[in-house]
């Protein structure tokens, strides 16, 4: 459903999946064909817990995140012969402008705080640190994974 109570239509799913998932593959393919990837390049995508849980008014985004994760795994496999790795970060609830656009986001925020072993939300710097770690040589053997970056929020 959209913010005005209307039910999502097929075009809503098409546009969201194209923008949030298929575009990653399109960009990756374009960069690859242009030979712009360096040896040992890293592709990092971003997903959410909405990929596994049903949230009201989130169905199009949820579907896009599932597609994004499947594409990330496939890209890891398909581009491995060229030295390219692909991983997906599943950040915990992070209060951003995008998060604030989710209907009933306050309920999600409270739920995340309740389930966080560290009793705090994920902050952008937590996610940036994970991106940094995945870009290091030491992470060169990590590919095709969905990595929770949420301080253990997913454990409860």
Whether 3 shows a pLDDT value over 60: the answer reads no
Q: What percent of the chain has pLDDT over 70?
A: 97
Distance, in Å, from the CA atom of 52 to the CA atom of 47, rounded to the nearest integer, reads: 10
Q: What pLDDT is attached to residue 5?
A: 60
> 59-79 and 23-33 are packed helices; what angle lies between their axes, rounded to 10 degrees?
30
User: For the ranges 16-30, 49-63, 68-82, which has the lowest average pLDDT?
Assistant: 49-63
Average pLDDT for the chain: 92
Distance, in Å, from the CA atom of 143 to the CA atom of 73, rounded to the nearest integer, reads: 8
Distance, in Å, from the CA atom of 143 to the CA atom of 145, rounded to the nearest integer, reads: 6
Check residues 1 and 122 and name the one with the higher pLDDT: 122
Evaluate whether 107 touches 148 at the Cβ level (below 8 Å).
Answer: no
Name the maximum alpha-carbon separation found in the chain: 48
User: For the ranges 58-62, 77-81, 84-88, which has the lowest average pLDDT?
Assistant: 58-62
Return the structure tokens found at 109. 């925020």
Whether 96 shows a pLDDT value over 50: the answer reads yes
Helix (H) or strand (E) holding 15: helix 10-17
Q: Whole-model pTM? A: 0.88
Return the structure tokens found at 34. 């242009």
Instruction: Name the fold adopted by 10-155.
Output: Rossmann fold (3.40.50)
Q: What pLDDT is attached to residue 1?
A: 46
The residue to which tokens 């991106």 are assigned: 131
Distance, in Å, from the CA atom of 117 to the CA atom of 151, rounded to the nearest integer, reads: 7
């Amino acid at each position: 459903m959209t913010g005005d109570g209307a039910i999502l239509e097929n075009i809503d799913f098409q546009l969201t999946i194209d923008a949030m998932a298929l575009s990653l593959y399109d960009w990756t393919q374009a960069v690859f064909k242009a030979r712009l990837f360096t040896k040992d390049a890293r592709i990092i995508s971003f997903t959410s817990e909405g990929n596994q849980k049903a949230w009201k008014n989130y169905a199009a985004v949820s579907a896009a995140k599932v597609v994004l994760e499947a594409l990330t795994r496939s890209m890891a496999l398909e581009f491995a012969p060229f030295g390219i790795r692909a991983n997906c970060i599943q950040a915990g609830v992070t209060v951003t402008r995008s998060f604030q656009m989710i209907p009933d986001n306050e309920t999600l925020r409270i739920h995340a705080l309740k389930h966080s072993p560290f009793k705090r939300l994920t902050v952008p710097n937590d996610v940036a640190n994970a991106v940094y770690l995945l870009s290091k040589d030491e992470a060169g053997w990590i590919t095709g994974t969905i990595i929770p970056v949420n301080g253990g929020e997913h454990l409860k």
